[in-house]
Amino acid sequence: MTVFHITTLAGDGIGPEIMAVATTLLERVAEQHGFTLALDPRPVGGAGVDACGEPLPAATLEACRASDAVLLAAIGGPQYDSLPRPQRPESGLLALRAGLGLFANLRPVRIVPALIGASSLREEVIRDVDLLVVRELIGGIYFGQPRGRVVGEDGEERGFNTMTYSSSEVDRIARVAFDLARQRRGRLCSVDKANVLDVSQLWRDRVTALAVDYPDVELSHLYVDNAAMQLVRDPRQFDVLLTSNLFGDILSDEAAMLTGSIGMLPSASLGASGPGLFEPVHGSAPDIAGQDKANPLAMVLSAAMMLRIGLGQEDAATALESAVDRVLADGYRTGDLMSPGCRAVGCRAMGDQLLAALA
Ligand code: IPM
Ligand code: MG
């Protein structure tokens, strides 16, 4: 029987609760579809700091590199916010992404029919929304040098970061987006701020030049401010959205709200080769951690993306996604999605319903 080696990174806050739901379901679905998952839990983020004094322990990165795929829940918490930047949980996540060369972050935004009323936007605006944010993940202002804080001779302090992309960095993420657009509805919208930023003008020039290789893809460009507006004005116009690291971070949280809750959005981060990293877009929600209130659905949908993209187990992935649709159609809701007439459940009970739906 095929055995897949998965490094699981539960992390902080609600991370361990939602990871427990996902791993239970993964083990069941593997059994049902005739493969085995060897799960290797490792500390990362605040849990890494607590266990080893650093947010990305070397042994964790090694385990990730040696596995077939990496499943991450969430990192961060207020108790770590005052640590020096290299020790913060977020730095561990960025180091993990960079360490695995995961330049392409895919964030699909799909409306679950049962949740259409949970969105803060009107039904006619969001019905049938099906878009994919392709975010560059290991470049741009998140990683650009120089960066830092300096005190000038006048005693004034200045903070700075550098937004930088090389042509090859733009090309490799743009090709991923063009390829995905080709497999979907054939439309690609590249987001930049080329009216102001030189780095964005290079971005736009490279993406435009690549379009000759994809005559079947319809390419458009939007400035990021306009893209933010269009996402809530008429999100159905979008198929694939291509963004830099920072713009994609912001726009994907915005796009998540089309689905009713950021607790619904999964993601996949991929490199040129090696294991991918699969994680929900949301954070560690320290305010509800340990209270069995978290919504595990984005985590479960991330596990489904891992099965499909990371392990090539399409049927098992579809089974997990159908289970999610099913429990929502049956009216089960965690607090973030609750609406009148629905059945309120906690994280564990939601997991039990999903398990039952898999049977
Ligand atoms: C995300 C998160 C991360 C990011 C944080 C936790 C570093 O917001 O994955 O969108 O900014 O990339
Ligand atoms: Mg974010």
**CATH number of the domain encompassing residue 5:** 3.40.718.10
Distance 93 CA to ligand 1 centre (A): 8
Residue 41 and residue 93: Cα distance in Å, rounded? 16
**267 closest CA partner among 77, 82, 70:** 70
Ligand lying nearest the CA atom of residue 12: 1
Residue 230 CB neighbour total at 10 angstroms: 16
Q: What residues line ligand 1, using a CB cutoff of 6 Å?
A: 90, 93, 249, 281
Q: Which atom of ligand 1 is the closest one to the Cα of 245?
A: 12
Calculate mean pLDDT across residues 76-92: 96
CA of 73 to the centre of ligand 1 (A): 12
Total of domains in the chain: 2
pLDDT tens track for 28-67: 999 999 999 999 999 999 999 999 999 999 999 999 999 9
- Residue 188 has what pLDDT? 98
* CA 275 to centroid of ligand 2, rounded, Å: 21
Length of the chain equals 359
Domain boundary among 210, 243, 259: 259
Ligand 1 pocket check: which of 75, 85, 93 to mutate, most ligand atoms within 8 Å of Cβ? 93
Same domain? 250 vs 292: no
* 320, 331 contact by CB (below 8 A): no
Of 210, 242, 259, the position where a domain reaches its end is 259
Domain that holds residue 88: 1-119+266-359
Distance between CA atoms of 112 and 300, rounded to whole angstroms?
A: 14
Residues 100 and 9 in one domain: yes
Q: Does 120 have pLDDT greater than 90?
A: no
Domain limit, last residue, from 240, 259, 278: 259
Reply yes or no on whether the pLDDT at 260 is more than 80: no
Residue 225's pLDDT is what?
98
Residue type, 53: G
For ligand 1, atom 10, the nearest C-alpha belongs to 249
CA of 164 to the centre of ligand 1 (A): 18
Query: Within this chain, do residues 22 and 69 fall inside the same structural domain, yes or no?
Result: yes
What pLDDT score does 1 carry? 85
Instruction: Please check the confidence at residue 259 and state whether its pLDDT lies above 90.
Output: no
- Nearest atom, ligand 1, residue 90 CA: 7
Say if residue 223 is in the same domain as residue 286: no
Ligand 2 centre to CA of 301 (Å) is 17
Q: What residue's CA is closest to ligand 1, atom 7?
A: 90
- Give the residue whose CA is nearest to atom 12 of ligand 1: 249
pLDDT of residue 118: 80
Which ligand has an atom closest to residue 76 CA? 1
- For the CA of 137, the closest atom of ligand 1 is 12
User: pLDDT tens digits, residue range 263-307?
Assistant: 899 999 999 999 999 999 999 999 999 999 999 999 999 999 999
Among all residues, which ones are annotated catalytic?
A: 142, 193, 225, 249, 253
Ligand of minimum distance to the alpha carbon of 267: 1
Nearest CA to ligand 1 atom 5: 90
Token digits of residue 145: 């040098």
Ligand 1 centroid to 75 CA: how many Å? Answer: 9
Regarding whether 131 and 46 lie in a shared domain, the answer is: no
Q: Which ligand is nearest to the CA of 245?
A: 1
Q: Residue 263 has what pLDDT?
A: 84
Domain match, 113 and 142 both:
no
Residue nearest ligand 1's atom 9 by CA: 281
Mark whether 102 and 25 lie in a shared domain.
yes
Do residues 198 and 314 both lie within one domain? no
Are 173 and 239 found together in one domain? Answer: yes
Please indicate, yes or no, whether residues 34 and 95 belong to a single structural domain of this protein: yes
> 85 with 75: CB under 8 angstroms?
no
Instruction: Answer yes or no: do 255 and 301 share one domain.
Output: no
Q: Which tens digits make up the pLDDT trace of 181-235?
A: 999 999 999 999 999 999 999 999 999 999 999 999 999 999 999 999 999 999 9
Q: How far apart are CA 305 and CA 307, in angstroms?
A: 5
- Does residue 155 carry a pLDDT above 90? yes
Q: Are residues 135 and 250 in the same domain?
A: yes
Q: Which atom of ligand 1 is nearest to the CA of 93?
A: 7
Instruction: Reply yes or no on whether the pLDDT at 129 is more than 80.
Output: yes
Q: Are the beta carbons of 87 and 55 closer than 8 angstroms?
A: yes
What pLDDT sits at residue 351?
98
